[in-house]
Amino acid sequence: MNAASNETVNPLSGIELLNTIYKPDVLQCLANLSNDEVFTPPDVVNEILDMLPQELFSNPETRFLDPVSKSGVFLREIAKRLLEGLKDQIPDLQTRLDHIFHKQLFGIAITELTALMSRRSVYCSKNANSKWSVSTFETPEGNIAFTRIKHTWENGKCKYCGASKSEYDRSGDLETHAYQFIHPGKKAFEDMKFDVIVGNPPYQLSDGGHGVSAKPLYHLFVEAAKKMNPRYITMIIPSRWFAGGKGLDDFRESMLNDDRMSHLVDFENSASIFPGVDVAGGICYFLWDRNRHGLCKVTNYYNDEKVEMERKLNEYSTFIRSNLAISILRKVTHSHGETGYLSSKVSARKPFGLATNYVPQNSGIPCWFIQRIGLKYADPALIDKDNPYLNKWKLLLPKAPIAGQTDFSKPVGFYYSGNTRIAKPGECCTESFIIANTFDTEDETISFRSYLFTKVVRFLLLQTVVSQDVTKRNFCFVPDLGKYSGAYTDSMLCKRWGISDSEWAYIDSKISAVE
């Protein structure tokens, strides 16, 4: 039954028609292909669309593009809103359907399979020119395009997306995952002007590195969307860009300094919006408004309650995701003296040049390996005798202290007696550890360790951490006190930095106790 016959037999409104067609809603329970290509539930899509000015859905001239269509859910939910918003201007249902699907909604699928899925979701038929389509097109594709293109290989990787040639240089019957929107060449609808670009881009692709190494992709789609200069952009992406990292430093700087960012909604636990999907560091979605300049409304959730604050995203070099943490950071950074922060003291990776997989020797320089190996030996020929860390007391920290934890809505531990080591002068370590600080005496080292074990300090560290690895730059908000003596406690630091009881309660809820 097509839309025209439906209106004759049973004159439903446009929104009633689609609600009838899409019950039960298979897209609400659709399984995800992988953590790299995550389908967006319809209720989340509507939360995202709610950020847009709603008058867009009452304007017959508004054009929408989803350049990363997987299930077609964004276009489908937009169609529902347009059908309702345009019913007074275009009263005839079939005329309204034809106008919306032909003139206002456009998509670029990421694979041949998702092209078929998207057309089925939007047009109710995998072929837009079939008699079952709610609006008939001259071609099977309609306005949801898919063109198979190839990567451009350079030194074993695609020069545009970083995909590994060994994995993605495929035969014609396999998907190449060379996404049209971020690769050169003639693009679908590239001569058109769009008011809104929406979507949930692929998150990453294997880059051929060791193990399961992968290169982030989502930022490339955001940047490509900005180049098209629409009125609005709204996308749902991983939150790991908050702290930069692999391929994301320039993107982070661009996003944090872009005062056209109107809204940013952040979820520490990706399962909050993608049930059953674990995306390390959480998920966020945003609204970019080309013609607006000002503060950004940041929304996050604490104990299932929405916490909102309008603020500058670039107040700090790393985006602080928690609104409740902002007041604490401001107090600490404003009251701290001139001794700097621990990011200037913590070592870089491989403080002694020894990789994680370095094989212990039978004799030589005492060396700390991963926990199950402990203190063994390293070849003296591999250790620079002038290494500034070698002849000092030092506190060693694991480079991945929260391995396996991706849900930051739960309390985080970081460091405790079992995963840290006090190394004596003359001892070294492999890449399994970084050096937190060095001292002339063991007492200073023990005192410093008590400082690092406080919940306040670990909370300050948490504000820059979005993955299992912790590097020197993650200590950029942890004050270096200069001299360390005696045991440090949370009550001592709360008094020192003016942290209130309610702020301490929040800190206490986010950081687990030291074992």
Whether residues 238 and 305 share a domain: the answer is yes
Same domain flag for 455 and 308: no
Q: Please report the pLDDT score of residue 3 as a whole number.
A: 43
Query: For residue 55, is it within any domain?
Result: yes
Residues 373 and 246 in one domain: no
314 inside domain: yes
Higher per-residue confidence, 37 vs 460: 460
Average pLDDT over residues 442-464: 96
pLDDT given for residue 504 in this prediction: 97
pLDDT tens for 417-440 read 999 999 999 999 999 999 999 999
Is position 515 within any domain? no
Could you give the percent of the chain with pLDDT greater than 70? Answer: 90
CA atoms within 13 A on the CB side of 86: 25
Both 324 and 366 in one domain: the answer is: no
436 plus 324 within the same structural domain:
no
CATH number of the domain residue 306 falls in: 3.40.50.150
pLDDT of res. 368:
97
Mean pLDDT of 174-182: 86
Q: Do both 448 and 300 map to the same domain? A: no
Confidence (pLDDT) at 11: 44
With a cut of 50, say whether residue 8 has pLDDT above it.
no
> Do 291 and 377 have their domain in common?
no
What residue type is 62 in one-letter code? T
With a cut of 50, say whether residue 10 has pLDDT above it.
no
Cα(210)–Cα(412) distance, integer angstroms: 27
Range with the poorest average pLDDT among 142-156, 441-455, 481-495, 498-512:
142-156
Are 117 and 265 part of one and the same domain?
yes
Domain that holds residue 316: 3-328
| pLDDT of the residue at 272 | 86
**Over 70: is that where the pLDDT of 7 sits?**
no
pLDDT tens figures, 194-218: 999 999 999 988 665 544 567 899 9
Q: Which of 13-17, 163-167, 381-385 has the highest mean pLDDT?
A: 381-385
Cis peptide before 216 (omega within 30 of 0): no
Domain stops at, among 328, 353, 376: 328
Residue 370 corresponds to which tokens in the numbers above?
């991963």
Residue 213 in any domain: the answer is yes
The domain total for the chain is: 2
Look at residue 97 and tell me if it is in a domain: yes
Is there a domain that residue 131 lies in? Answer: yes
Amino acid identity of 409? S
Same-domain check for residues 267 and 314: yes
- Residue 9 pLDDT exceeds 50: no
Q: What is the pLDDT at residue 279?
A: 85
Give 358-411 pLDDT, tens digit per residue.
999 999 999 999 888 999 999 999 999 899 999 999 999 999 998 877 777 788
Higher-scoring residue by pLDDT: 19, 297: 297
Virtual torsion, Cα 404, 408, 413, 415, nearest 10 deg:
70
Query: Domain boundary at 280, 301, 328, which?
Result: 328
pLDDT in tens, 254-292: 999 999 999 999 998 888 888 888 888 889 999 999 999
Q: 300 lies in a domain? A: yes
| Residue 151 and residue 102 in one domain | yes
Computed over every residue of the chain, the mean pLDDT equals 88
- Pick the last residue of a domain from 278, 310, 328: 328
- The verdict on 174 and 81 lying in the same domain is yes
Shared-domain flag, residues 439 and 500: yes
Comparing 186-190, 353-357, 411-415, which segment has the lowest mean pLDDT?
186-190
Closest by CA position to 130, among listed 122, 146, 138: 138
Sequence-separated contacts (24+) of 335-338 with Cβ below 8 Å: 335/496, 335/497, 335/498, 336/479, 336/497, 337/479
